[in-house]
Chain A
Amino acid sequence: MQTSVSVKNLTLAFGAVKVLEGLNLDVGTGEFLVLLGPSGCGKSTLLNCLAGLLEISEGQIFISGKNVTWEEPKDRGIGMVFQSYALYPQMTVERNLSFGLRVSGMPREEIEKRVARASEILQIQPLLKRKPAELSGGQRQRVAIGRALVRDVDVFLFDEPLSNLDAKLRSDLRVEIKRLHQRLKNTMIYVTHDQIEAMTLADRIAIMRNGVIQQLDTPHAVYNNPVNLFVAGFIGSPTMNFLNGRIDGSTFSIDALNIPLGNYKFEKDGVGKLDGILGVRPEHIAVGEDAKKMPFQLDSEIEIVEPMGSDTVGWTKVAGQSVTFRCSSDIPLAPGQKITIGFDPARGSLFDAQSGVRV
């Protein structure tokens, strides 16, 4: 795959505080990359560096093979969509779309062609004569996307474009953005702290924490093989269960309870003995009849039941440690009820308790 955006050794400091340090990132052409992470981890900062809206302290940025480190934002071949839409409030939608092009002195027909195409793609033709104040949030965000679209660029940058919308609109527009990507096949870099957006949209997800990319991989890999405790805990809802215990060769023991690890794939052979944490996703824990088929089983008692409609989240204990599981809502559950739970340790994740790194 060709690289479209490439960040080399990027450092950005606000005064003495280094928000990003020595960051490297390669994004393939046509790839949809999502930057995911908790608030304040530097996602927007990274995006603004790519766009040229922040002056970087050290490192280089390449876009479409060109070193754009010192280029102005408009010359970088990027379009950007913001959380607050950032439309020009006194201009009509049409003018919002065309203003940048007009200023750059583009011929009239070309501008009209591009505006027409963008408004057709985003289905905002009926809105062209309105002003932003007369649009709904979803419509405003479409216009904002349109403004990036008319620039006819290779790379789109999105900074939490859906955060200001309500849940329903958010999922609608999410699908729309996915459709847009499939149609245009541009490179897209998308910042969010909503993991559902990240999982559904991304070709690859970069999970960030304190300005450092923790893991850069496909949604599947990030979900199933988190590289450390942070990623494991950040992705998934309800969050992954973490059991504290001790790794000894091919068993994981919590006090008297021994869990055979079976064919768990260690990152490297011969981990030996160490304090460890076993992470198990709630949806990987089976109850009742299904549990009987699992390599590891355990009798337990239900403490709390949270019916979610399509499925049910239950709380129980394993060797004194709290554990949640998710099962079909068809299974009748009640607090106090004795049940059998089971899971496959090979599908879980083992971490070094000290460093938090996957073993």
Chain B
Amino acid sequence: MTAEALDATGFAGPHGAKPKQLSWGRVGIYAFLVIAALFFLVPLYVMLVTSLKSMPEVREAHIFNLPREPTIQPWIDAMFNACTGRNCTGLSPGFWNSVKITVPSVIVSIIIASINGYALSFWKYKGAEFFFNLLVFGAFVPYQVVIYPIIIGMSKVHLFGTLPGIIIVHTIFGMPLLTILFRNFYSSLPIEIFKAARIDGAGFWQTFFKVMLPMSVPITVVAVILQVTGIWNDFLFGLVFAGTENIPMTLQLNNMVKTTQGTIQYDVNMAATMLTALVPLIIYFVSGKWFVRGIAAGAVKG
């Protein structure tokens, strides 16, 4: 023992956890994160407060101030009354169009992709890899490159500018990523499950529906999140393929904001923007971890 005096706990010299000093490093880390968080939050905040103000208040140009007399009139106007050119229906037709486009597109694209992934994992026939590699390549092709041939093809079968047409387009462009997603998932399953089903006499479809599908719930949730947000947020395909009858919400929002006559209704515009963002935002906040997992899964391609 050294000559140092024992303290109350019976130890001499340093003992236990090292005493914490407030380190500038930690302060810096939190400062950075908080400033970054502000950068990410401010646009949403500004959108929200603007959408709750009346136009006279917006014109005072204090975008950070809370609304003095909060009103949801801009939201109602944005949804039902605002004009796009001479057409004063608000965003509601666009909303319903987006629903009509998104729901079938998501269902069809996921069914096809899950069958693809299943076949590519367990039923490799000659040439299957070739088509899969084409799909992987397709995941990187800028959409704009192949849009024109698709327009031509769609016109030939009279689907250009129709609801089934845009659903097919979404299915086509969702296929690469979703197929990769499902293939990775099924490939990670133990092959014994498949063999056991085969030994029990199940064929391609029976194995798929009775054995594989019930196990695919998590990956299907990820795929649904990915597709719903992706298709809801689409702009380009809506612009090119939807025709005048099926304009999706994003497109109608843009048209509405860009073609206002007279004074610009910033409050209504921001309410409309918020409304368009609402569906994906709700999905994001409700699904939380799943959304992140979807990004990660989608990112892990070839």
Q: In the complex they form, do A and B come into direct contact, defined as C-beta atoms under 8 angstroms apart?
A: yes
Q: Which residue of A lies closest to B19 (CB)?
A: A70
Residues of chain B lying within 8 A (CB to CB) of residue A233 = none
B17 touches A55 (CB 8 A): yes
Instruction: Report Cα–Cα, A9/B18, bound state, in Å.
Output: 16
| Cβ-neighbour of B14 out of A9, A55, A57, A60 (below 8 A) | A60
Type the 1/0 row for A170-196, where 1 means its CB is closer than 8 Å to any CB of B.
000000000000000000000000000
Instruction: Report Cα–Cα, A70/B17, bound state, in Å.
Output: 7
Q: Which residue of B lies closest to A68 (CB)?
A: B14
- Shortest beta-carbon distance, A78 to chain B, in Å? 17
A138 at interface, CB cutoff 8 A: no
B203 at interface, CB cutoff 8 A: no
Residues of chain B lying within 8 A (CB to CB) of residue A67 = 13-14
- Shortest beta-carbon distance, A225 to chain B, in Å? 32
B158 at interface, CB cutoff 8 A: no
A59 at interface, CB cutoff 8 A: yes
B288 at interface, CB cutoff 8 A: no
Residues of chain A lying within 8 A (CB to CB) of residue B11 = 8-9, 59-60
B17 touches A60 (CB 8 A): no
What's the dominant secondary structure at chain B's contact region?
A: loop
A56 touches B16 (CB 8 A): yes
B68 at interface, CB cutoff 8 A: no
Type the 1/0 row for A63-97, where 1 means its CB is closer than 8 Å to any CB of B.
00001011000000000000000000000000000
| Cβ-neighbour of A70 out of B9, B10, B18 (below 8 A) | B18
Residues of chain B lying within 8 A (CB to CB) of residue A9 = 10-11
A58 at interface, CB cutoff 8 A: yes
B126 at interface, CB cutoff 8 A: no
B15 at interface, CB cutoff 8 A: yes
Residues of chain A lying within 8 A (CB to CB) of residue B15 = 8, 58-60, 69
A58 touches B14 (CB 8 A): no
| Cβ-neighbour of A57 out of B10, B13, B17 (below 8 A) | B17
Instruction: Report Cα–Cα, A60/B10, bound state, in Å.
Output: 11
Residues of chain A lying within 8 A (CB to CB) of residue B9 = 58
Residues of chain B lying within 8 A (CB to CB) of residue A8 = 11, 15
Residues of chain B lying within 8 A (CB to CB) of residue A58 = 9, 15-17
Instruction: Report Cα–Cα, A58/B18, bound state, in Å.
Output: 10
Residues of chain B lying within 8 A (CB to CB) of residue A60 = 11, 13-15
Q: List 28 A-B contacts (CB under 8 A).
A: A8-B15, A9-B10, A9-B11, A55-B17, A55-B18, A56-B16, A56-B17, A57-B16, A57-B17, A58-B9, A58-B15, A58-B16, A58-B17, A59-B15, A59-B16, A60-B11, A60-B13, A60-B14, A60-B15, A67-B13, A67-B14, A69-B13, A69-B14, A69-B15, A69-B16, A69-B18, A70-B14, A70-B18
4 smallest beta-carbon distances between A and B, as pairs: A70-B18, A69-B14, A70-B14, A60-B15
